[in-house]
Amino acid sequence: MVSAVKATQGAVVFDLAVQPLRELNQFLHGDLTSIKTVAVENPDGAHSIAVGLNAPVQVDIKGHAGYYAAGMNQEATVVVHGNAGPGCAENMMSGRVEVKGFASGGAGASAHGGLLVIHGDAGLRCGISLKGGTIVVGGDVGSFSAFMAQAGTMVVCGDAGDGLGDSLYEAVIYVRGEVKSLGADARLEPMSAADLATVKQLLADAGLAHAASEFKRIASAKTLYHWNADSNQTY
Amino acid sequence: MCGIVGLLLKNKAMRPRLGELMVPMLIGMTERGPDSSGMAVFGEPVIDSRRKISLYCGDAGFNWRHVEGALLEFFGDAQFEVKANHCIVTSKAKPDDIRRWVARHHPTVHVLSVGRSIDLYKDVGLPSEVAARYAFQNFSGTHLVGHTRMATESAVTPANAHPYTAGEDWCLVHNGSLANPNSIRRMLEKKGIQFESDCDTEGACRYLHWRLDQGESLETALEHAFEDFDGFFTFLMGTEDKLALVRDPFACKPAVVAETDDYVAIASEFHSLAHLPGVKHANIFEPKPSEVYSWSVQ
């Protein structure tokens, strides 16, 4: 079934112009012990490229990816050499996903672990319901990002849209640019030495050259942690 | 779910290839909308004293010659271009007179569009089937607005397919759904505006046209729409010389734009743009929510 695959010295090339996506994903779900890199040519916006990986392989998507690229990733490094559609690296568990262009809505949604780096802008709802993963965005993030983010870290080098960090739990957001508006229960907090060290490390991991001192910290005010019968539903 | 596609050719030399470039865009959106599709094509306008009227009949065996003969006799001037279930009439007769005549004498024939520039085709079936039925690949012109439909709120019928039109040289396609189309409809019906289908999108199309008709700019009309429409939408709109695109404030439905010196191409997903010449070097971006984007034919 993988007869069209050219494997030399652990490097494999799939061309989605001639090979079905399912063939690529089934190959990536197989035994990859002798495989180091997989290149995906002509992705042309196909959905669900390199989803559900569970091995320390590097996948290079040589173009633009459609919905759900690198979703549910574990251990693998997936690089989109272009833009990614909605739901990129959704529910990532570990590993690294890197988008060289922009990512559409819901990038890194519900990620439990791993690092998602988006060099361009991220659309709306980036890191929604983040559960422990790390997201570094080189550009701006759209509205409602980090909504109900429970754990993990988000670093935004550009601006953030409306409702940033609405109903945050324990996740922490660092923003370098302007925040159009904070969501309910999200608040600005002072940057500690530990925050500066975290941002510095994550920028280095992502390969982005900004000073950690330019970032501000946003975290939960924790006023929503307990039901307040006297609040009159004002939040 | 639905798919939208739009293409505006800046490069005049490419205009004879409008249909050929568009068909893969439309077929690329099959998974988003397999049940119906449609296309509004804008080309060189006919002279001001004439209008083009796109007619559709659901009966595949319909004999257009009867319509042609009777229309010629009644109005004394008309040219016809028949493709399958579809006929474009070009005439100096008043469009409303032709509309009334058609409704009276051929109640199974529907007016899809009226204008100096617009031709409109829509029908049920896979995008590839609809494109082949009406030879979409042969279209030439300056710009077009296309749609593939996956019905969610009204039946799969040709009348409920997109694009929708109102007035002259105005059309709209929609990905999304409105929760209050009936309120919009009742409000417009009180003003004497008539509806032809039960699709939510027709409300949006007629609402925006009604506002434009009052002299509002498209930007102002859409500002009002953000207040008055309850629901999700990416709208792509066409006029005789313009394409316009807007996404709802929550950007619930996708859209991507690729622009080069030769063209502006719009689709729900990049998948439909991947075949376009020079797309690898195009300026590709995702339209921001609540922002009105428009491109004019030069």
Please report, for chain B, the start and end positions of each structural domain, with discontinuous segments joined by +: 2-45+121-296, 48-116
Superfamily of chain region B2-45+121-296: Aminohydrolase, N-terminal nucleophile (Ntn) domain (3.60.20.10)
pLDDT at A154 over 90: yes
Spatial CA neighbour of B33 closest among B133, B120, B122? B122
At A10 the pLDDT is 82
Find the range with the poorest average confidence among A50-54, B22-26, B83-87: B83-87
Tally of helices (H runs) and strands (E runs) in chain B: 7, 16
Count of structural domains within chain A: 1
Helices (H), chain A: 21-28, 193-206
Contact between B269 and A66 using a beta-carbon 8 Å cutoff: yes
Interface test with B, best of A124, A145, A180 (most B CBs within 10 A): A124
DSSP-assigned letter for residue B188: H
Q: Is A43 a member of any domain?
A: yes
Comparing alpha-carbon positions, the chain A residue that sits nearest to B290 is A143
pLDDT at B230 over 60: yes
- How many angstroms separate the CA atoms of B276 and B11, rounded? 14
Which backbone phi and psi does B38 adopt, to 5 degrees? -160, 165
Which amino acid is residue B165, in one-letter code?
T
Question: Looking at residues A76-102, what average pLDDT do you find?
Answer: 98
Which residues are CB-contacts of A31 (< 8 A; sequence separation ≥ 6)?
Answer: none
- How many angstroms separate the CA atoms of B226 and B190, rounded? 21
Q: How far is A34 from chain B (nearest CA, A)?
A: 32
Q: Is A210 a member of any domain?
A: yes
Contact between B270 and A123 using a beta-carbon 8 Å cutoff: no
Comparing alpha-carbon positions, the chain A residue that sits nearest to B276 is A44
Annotation: CATH topology of B48-116: Alpha-Beta Plaits (3.30.70)
Contact B224/B277 with Cβ under 8 angstroms?
no
Q: What is the pTM of this model?
A: 0.94
Question: Looking at residues A39-47, what average pLDDT do you find?
Answer: 98
Q: How far is B70 from chain A (nearest CA, A)?
A: 50
Spatial CA neighbour of A82 closest among B11, B12, B79, B270? B270
pLDDT tens digits, one per residue of B95-138? 999 999 999 999 999 999 999 999 999 999 999 999 999 999 99
**Which helix (H) or strand (E) is B148 found in, with range?**
strand B143-149
Contact between A67 and B269 using a beta-carbon 8 Å cutoff: yes
Question: Looking at residues A174-191, what average pLDDT do you find?
Answer: 98
Spatial CA neighbour of B123 closest among B115, B131, B111? B131
Q: How far is A45 from chain B (nearest CA, A)?
A: 4
Question: Looking at residues A176-205, what average pLDDT do you find?
Answer: 98
Residues of B in contact with A124 (CB under 8 A): 250-251, 289
Comparing alpha-carbon positions, the chain A residue that sits nearest to B284 is A83
Q: Is A5 a member of any domain?
A: no
Q: How far is A174 from chain B (nearest CA, A)?
A: 23
Contact between B284 and A85 using a beta-carbon 8 Å cutoff: no
Spatial CA neighbour of B134 closest among B161, B167, B100? B161
Contact between B270 and A45 using a beta-carbon 8 Å cutoff: yes
Nearest to A104 among B274, B280, B286 (CB): B286
- Domain CATH code at residue A132: 2.160.20.60
Question: Looking at residues B286-292, what average pLDDT do you find?
Answer: 95
- How many angstroms separate the CA atoms of B133 and B153, rounded? 26
pLDDT at A3 over 90: no
Burial class, B200, CB count within 10 angstroms (exposed 0-12 / middle 13-18 / buried 19+): buried
Which backbone phi and psi does B227 adopt, to 5 degrees? -75, -40
Residues of A in contact with B256 (CB under 8 A): 83
Query: Using 50, 70 and 90 to split pLDDT, how confident is the model at A229?
Result: confident
At A6 the pLDDT is 57
| Residues of B designated as active site | 2
Contact between B250 and A44 using a beta-carbon 8 Å cutoff: no
pLDDT tens digits, one per residue of B180-194? 999 999 999 999 999
Q: Name residue A14's beta-bridge partners.
A: A40
Pair of tokens at residue A199: 């941002």
Nearest to B271 among A44, A86, A101 (CB): A44
Query: Using 50, 70 and 90 to split pLDDT, how confident is the model at B76?
Result: confident
Query: Using 50, 70 and 90 to split pLDDT, how confident is the model at A233?
Result: low
Residues of A in contact with B284 (CB under 8 A): 64, 83, 101
Contact between B250 and A124 using a beta-carbon 8 Å cutoff: yes
Nearest to B274 among A45, A86, A124 (CB): A45
Query: A interface toward B at CB cutoff 8 Å?
Result: 42, 44-46, 63-64, 66-67, 83, 85-86, 101-102, 104-105, 121, 123-124, 142-144
pLDDT at A234 over 70: no
At B60 the pLDDT is 79
Domain enclosing residue A37, as ranges: 12-220
Q: How far is A59 from chain B (nearest CA, A)?
A: 20
- How many angstroms separate the CA atoms of A189 and B155, rounded? 53
pLDDT tens digits, one per residue of B127-147? 999 999 999 999 999 999 999
Between chain A and chain B, how many beta carbons pairs sit less than 8 Å apart? 49
Contact A147/A167 with Cβ under 8 angstroms?
yes
Which backbone phi and psi does B192 adopt, to 5 degrees? 90, 10
Instruction: Give the end-to-end CA distance of chain A in Å, rounded to a whole number.
Output: 56
Residue with tokens 């016809």: B80
